[in-house]
Amino acid sequence: MDQCEDGGFLFISHSHKDKDKIRQLRNKLEEEGYEPLCFYLKCLDDHPKELNDLIKREIDARKWFLYAVSENSRTSPYVQRECNYRRNSKNSQIWEWDLESGKPIDEISDIITKGLRVNVIYSHKDMDFTKKLVCKLRQNDFQVKWDGDLDSGRD
């Protein structure tokens, strides 16, 4: 069976004016083994169709979406476009983080990672099924922990 990607991909929709808080969350998620996507494109107005299509593809490529809510993001046409696109997509899972709530970064990170992490425990006789399950979970951006490379000690 081909090796699947590790999963744990997350799109973070935010205003660039809130980048300091977003960086803190991004760093925390990366420490936990996740792949958050959050970037600021200086050339947003240079080629609007091309960039809009790129952002839509990135949103579509991830099952998980975090909307960083602030006065800045509520008034950002780019953030609102991303959120509206996500709300109308087949992958409508959206978490909202109120940046003005004062919640610690660790608490927000815990909420997100608990929803994205799966620990798989299985019997050795179920290895073929388990490999397929792990692969499917990873394809759906879950971070999966299992000992599939270690066959010894199983019943």
Mean per-residue pLDDT, 78-84: 93
pLDDT in the model for residue 2: 46
- 25 CB contacts (<8 Å, ≥6 apart)? 12, 36, 68, 97, 105, 108, 109
| pLDDT tens, residue by residue, 17-50 | 998 999 898 888 888 777 777 666 665 666 667 7
Is residue 153 pLDDT above 60, yes or no?
no
Please report the domains of the chain, with CATH numbers, ordered by start residue.
9-117 (3.40.50)
* Helix or strand holding residue 128 (H, E): helix 127-139
- The arithmetic mean of pLDDT across residues 72-100, rounded, is 90
